[in-house]
Amino acid sequence: MPIDHFSDLNIAVLLPCFNEGKSIASVVLGFRKALPRARIFVYNNNSSDDTAEQAARAGATVVPSRRQGKGNVVRQMFADIDADIYLMADGDGTYDPSAAPRMVQTLLDDRADMVVGTRRNVTQDAGRNGHAIGNRLFNSVYKTLFGNEFTDIFSGYRAFTRRFAKSFPASSAGFEIETEMSVHASTLRLPVSEVEFDYGRRMEGAPSKLSTFRDGFRILRMMGMLMKETRPFVFFGYVSVALFAASVFFMAPVIRDYLATGLVDRLPTWMLAMTLLLGAMMTFIAGVVLDSVARGRAEQKRIHYLSIAPSRGEQFRPGTTSLFDRRQDTTPTSSPAQRGADQR
């Protein structure tokens, strides 16, 4: 691919980093080679090592990010930087910089708002089986809850249009941010694509920041919260069905005894069953009402998304005229005598 293939695009490479001093220089140089005209920003998230020094020495623009957590860093990056195309990756060296031109080209060719770099060897994540099992499990849960547009919702290697970056709410604080990005695209039904590449290993002496159980719980909680916010009817429908089932469980023996004896001997059990039944009804009604609210919020997000001009290099070309101007030029004009006759 020619070096100046993207010369008319303003591309920003965004690298959120926390203690990546051992790898960040090679990552920056890799993206500099892959996208020579791109601006490279390293957001240093309170690193205690020499991440900032190594990144600056490699030629990146280093920006401090004081609020801890990858989600907080992404929120700051999208707010700070203006570009036509954003390319986000991690600074640990596991994402291949040479795949960056392919991701940008896919974004342009597919007219997509987000391209996700899916990891071919993600199941070999530093030999940690817990991460591999978690990836398969959460990807399956995501497909069930939100749709099957993605095969790797946890990939941090992504390309975005400006329209996506500036309309993304980014409420997550940590590693759940990739899941939220995927849900945002699924909720607004944005055009997305995927590019597969080989997933590397972290450098020796650079331990992973992920915790299998802690981050897994956070991601699961984020999925529940996003489901409640974006699909409240389904969320509260599940809760209502559970309460109704519990109500029937406690109600059945009381009704059986009543039909046999004509007496209600277990009054507390009956009261509990009725309370659960009322709870199921109220939860169902809440789901119906909140579903209307969620649809209104989705419409507002969509309107805000559409208010941001698409920026995939669509620029005004010198020598061209607008459709309105061309119509004006082709409109037949009348002679002065005819115009005088018309006035009379």
Pull the structure tokens for residue 55. Answer: 């990144």
CB atoms within 10 A of CB 42: 28
Among the ranges given (2-6, 79-83, 289-293), the one the predictor scored with the smallest mean pLDDT? 2-6
Are 149 and 184 contacting, i.e. CB atoms less than 8 angstroms apart? no
DSSP 89-137: --SSS-S-GGGHHHHHHHHHHTT-SEEEEEETTGGGGGG-HHHHHHHHH
Domain ranges of the chain: 7-229, 232-307
Fold for 7-229, please state it.
Spore Coat Polysaccharide Biosynthesis Protein SpsA; Chain A (3.90.550)
Are 150 and 184 contacting, i.e. CB atoms less than 8 angstroms apart? no
pLDDT tens column, 278-290:
999 999 999 999 9
pLDDT tens column, 217-258:
878 888 888 899 889 999 999 999 999 999 999 999 999 988
Write down the pLDDT at residue 240.
97
Are 243 and 276 contacting, i.e. CB atoms less than 8 angstroms apart? yes
pLDDT tens column, 151-210:
888 899 999 999 999 999 888 888 789 989 999 999 899 999 999 988 776 665 555 566
pTM: 0.76
Write down the pLDDT at residue 332.
54
Q: Give the span between the Cα atoms of 4 and 72, in whole angstroms.
A: 33
What b/e string do you get for 234-247 counting C-beta neighbours within 10 Å, with b at 16 or more?
ebbbebbeebbebb
The pLDDT mean for the chain works out to 84
Are 264 and 255 contacting, i.e. CB atoms less than 8 angstroms apart? no
DSSP 209-275: ---HHHHHHHHHHHHHHHHHHH-HHHHHHHHHHHHHHHHHHHHHHHHHHHHHHS----HHHHHHHHH
Packing angle, helices 177-188 and 267-307, rounded to 10:
80
What confidence tier does 42 reach under pLDDT thresholds 50, 70, 90?
very high
Q: Give the span between the Cα atoms of 79 and 268, in whole angstroms.
A: 56
Question: Residue 32: phi, psi to the nearest 5?
Answer: -65, -40
* Residue 141 DSSP one-character state: H
Write down the pLDDT at residue 126.
44
